[in-house]
A and B are shown apart, each in its own frame.
Chain A
Amino acid sequence: MSNVELRGITKHFPSVTALRDVSFSIQDGEFFVLLGPTGAGKTTTLRIIAGLEKQSEGSVLFDGQPVDALTPADRDVAFVFQQYSLYPTMSVYDNLAFPLRSPLRRLAEPEIKRRVEATAEKLRISHLLTRKTARLSGGEMQRVSIGRAIVRDPRLFLMDEPLSNLDAKLREALRVELEHLQKTQGITMLFVTHDQIEALTMADRIAVLKEGRIIQVGTPGDIYDRPATTFVAQLVGTPRINLFEASREDGRLIVKGSDLHLPAPNASLPAALLLGIRPEDIKPDSAGQFSGRVTLTEPLGVETILHIQSGQQTLLSLVPGISPARIGDEVRFNIVQEKLHCFDVNQQRVGA
């Protein structure tokens, strides 16, 4: 395992610039997620680290040493694919042994056996070694695919949307399994996804990528609690953050087209701004400061999304349980003042 650093990576393709001056570093043992929409440059970044693609500018370093001149094989990184990349007719043992039997390695069978068994032990799949992979559960397959990568002890794991084609229940289970494995095995991981839930739940740190540029790098808490731009604020969290045009007048924030007047959290805020409020920070309360009318309720089970109209604006509020509120009800609510997000007209975070 090792540290990975990207310094000023730019990638031009004939018709498009895929990456512009991308820099970040991944610490040893870290679960690092690249999050962004389709076309943001996530996969290109991964391919450049693996050596499958050559950058136009900048450098990739492993443990402080540039690896730009090294072939993919010499970089010693492991791509982990979805479970269907296992050989279904081979046993788990043979699947794990496969990378070690590569002609490049020329390992003796007893050494292969030793390594396969040690890996199986680590991943708790020793009891499955004789089984055909086609007969495994989803979670077991995931462990075997990781095992096949671990067995040759690579410096870095690269995963490109490995969960995206699976159904929701299996995805949830595998997420938990992957997180557990990565942490308990001390794997260094670079995981690419467009799914904000995967990023928030598994990452130690997230890099948000948009149109080939890094917008923000931080822990899931940083990204969620202090999004650097409106793009990041809207990318993470379901339902999406409420975002309103607002103005600062006499120490108050006034949301355009509504009755929402809030004390301005910071005197240095610009006069025109965008105000973000997460749905869970809009809290119905019979003695609340604000009022509005319920226009829609979406009971999800564990919580309910209330659509509350104030003036011409609709706010989404997330409340616990299945709410008894009905369409047309007048509700009073409070807004958690410490959790307001302010952005300037260029969509950059301002204030605290």
Chain B
Amino acid sequence: MATIELRQVEKKFGELYAVKPMDLTIRDGEFVVLLGPSGCGKTTTLRMISGLETVSGGQILLNGHNVTWRHPSARDIAFVFQLYALYPHLTARENIAFPLQAQRESPATIEQRVNEVVKLLRIEHLLHQRPGKLSGGDQQRVALARALVRRPAAFLMDEPLGALDAEFREAMRAEIKRLHILQRATTVYVTHDQIEAMAMGDRIVVMSAAEVQQAGTPHDVYYDPSNLFVASFIGSPGMNLIKGRLADGVIRLPGPQNGYSGLPEWRESLYKVIGNDKDVIVGFRPEAAQITADGALAGEVYAADMHGAYTMFHVNLNETDIAPEIVHIRGDRQTDYPIGTPVRFDLNPEMVRFFNPETENAIRREAA
């Protein structure tokens, strides 16, 4: 078992923060994803947990013990890098057995543990092949087996699927999650891919500019993003974020007649945080809008994308297309509106969120 605790952990290069002071507790058996664009500090955080990178301040605790200055090999944590770190001259079986041989385990133990992990990953049929003969997905399975065979207390994975084709990535994503559920080893997983993070994480730590933006369940970060960054980073496309002006109980939005008045439950909080005749950002997911003949909001179809199971409509709220104000609306396949068609739509008030344009933070609704 392993709990990992970061207390005010930070990393500076000269005067520059790679990671600003950060607190995070990862429970035993939890799958935590560090998510963010490149340069956000997620890999540095992972490397500090592993001990490959020293901290500039703060403490790292493993099972309650301070390991901040302990050598990586003394932390009992397996680090899975991106694929293809297999030894090309060894067979799959030899690759998997390698860490145990290095630990001088007995041949009987090695045999037993290799067999166990091979069965778990369903790769019995590949054992005599060398890595060069294996597909990308199978190489990844062997690499995973080699990490698993050590039975580490925790896994740290840095974009392990980054090098794979889309088709393998989907399958391996499910495979890693399935293994995690079977083994319940504490896992910290770094990715820049929000779909991967949503699909895999028990909890997602969204990072940007060396700082944690939000730590929460997939449900939290999707439905209640803490700020504009999280709202637009999660989802494809991200949340629609439209600047409007709050005045007399209505938010005026771009476009000649557009106003949003589904505010009763928010009114008090909005006036408290924003105030009358002030700008506010209205956020809603593409599926929170619905095109309907008598919708309260209006725009013109700017482009329409067929995605197979659904169609995404991109609707311009402004009358001009020099500076289009596009909202994305998810619709069903049956409807088809050519570019330029005027459309009306409504928002599901349950799924509308508000943000303060100055702080960029979400405005929370006060409990009634």
- Chain A contacts to B: CB under 8 angstroms: 124, 127, 167-169, 172, 175-177, 179-180, 183-184, 195, 197, 200-202, 220-221, 224, 234, 236-240, 278, 280, 295-296, 298-302, 305, 307, 318, 320, 322, 327
Contacts and interface: CB of A to CB of B under 8 A. Distances in A.
B307 interface: yes
A299 B174 contact: no
A111 B218 CA distance: 57
Given A172-B236, A172-B237, A176-B302, A300 B307 contact: no
Contact of B235 (A177, A221, A301): A301
Contact of B199 (A202, A240, A298, A320): A298
A335 B339 CA distance: 34
B285 interface: yes
Given A240-B170, A302-B235, A302-B285, A221 B306 contact: yes
Contact of A180 (B37, B302, B307): B302
Nearest to B201: A299
Given A168-B236, A327-B181, A299 B219 contact: yes
Nearest to B323: A124
B238 interface: yes
A294 to B, nearest CB: 11
B246 interface: no
Nearest to B285: A302
Interface string B128-142: 000000000000000
A176 B328 CA distance: 10
25 contacts: A127-B322, A169-B232, A169-B238, A176-B302, A176-B305, A180-B339, A183-B303, A184-B339, A184-B340, A195-B166, A200-B305, A200-B306, A200-B307, A220-B306, A224-B308, A236-B308, A237-B309, A239-B170, A240-B170, A298-B173, A299-B218, A299-B219, A300-B199, A301-B222, A318-B309
Given A172-B236, A278-B309, A179 B303 contact: yes
A251 to B, nearest CB: 29
B189 to A, nearest CB: 14
Given A201-B306, A278-B309, A298 B177 contact: yes
Given A183-B339, A240-B170, A295-B178, A301 B218 contact: yes
A224 B305 CA distance: 13
Contacts of B170: 238-240
A239 B195 CA distance: 12
A167 B238 CA distance: 13
Contacts of A224: 306, 308
Contacts of B222: 299, 301, 322
Contacts of B118: none
B285 A176 contact: no
B312 interface: yes
Nearest to A305: B199
Contacts of B358: none
B307 A301 contact: no
Contact of A175 (B285, B305, B330): B305
A175 B302 CA distance: 12
B287 interface: yes
B211 to A, nearest CB: 19
A312 to B, nearest CB: 13
Given A224-B308, A295-B178, A322-B222, A240 B235 contact: no
A176 B199 contact: no
Contacts of A177: 303
Given A124-B321, A183-B339, A296 B178 contact: yes
Nearest to A316: B174
A176 B307 contact: no
B286 A298 contact: no
A183 B339 CA distance: 8
Contacts of B219: 299, 322
B18 interface: no
A124 B287 contact: no
Contacts of B178: 295-296
Contacts of B237: 169, 172
B326 interface: yes
A328 B229 CA distance: 35
Contacts of A237: 308-309
Contact of A296 (B174, B193, B223, B312): B174
Interface string B220-260: 00110000000011111110000000000000000000000
A299 B306 contact: no
Given A299-B219, A322-B218, A202 B305 contact: yes
Contacts of B173: 298
A277 B308 CA distance: 13
B307 A197 contact: yes
B181 A167 contact: no
A128 to B, nearest CB: 11
Nearest to A278: B309
Contacts of A183: 303, 339
Interface string B278-291: 00000001110000
Contacts of B333: 221
A249 to B, nearest CB: 30
A169 B241 CA distance: 14
Interface in B270-315: 285-287, 302-303, 305-309, 312, 314
A176 B198 contact: no
Interface in B105-140: none
Given A127-B322, A200-B305, 15 more contacts: A176-B314, A180-B321, A202-B305, A239-B170, A298-B174, A298-B200, A299-B219, A299-B222, A300-B195, A301-B198, A301-B218, A301-B222, A302-B330, A322-B222, A327-B181
A15 to B, nearest CB: 20
Listed from nearest, the 4 A-B pairs whose CB atoms lie closest are: A201-B305, A298-B199, A301-B222, A280-B309
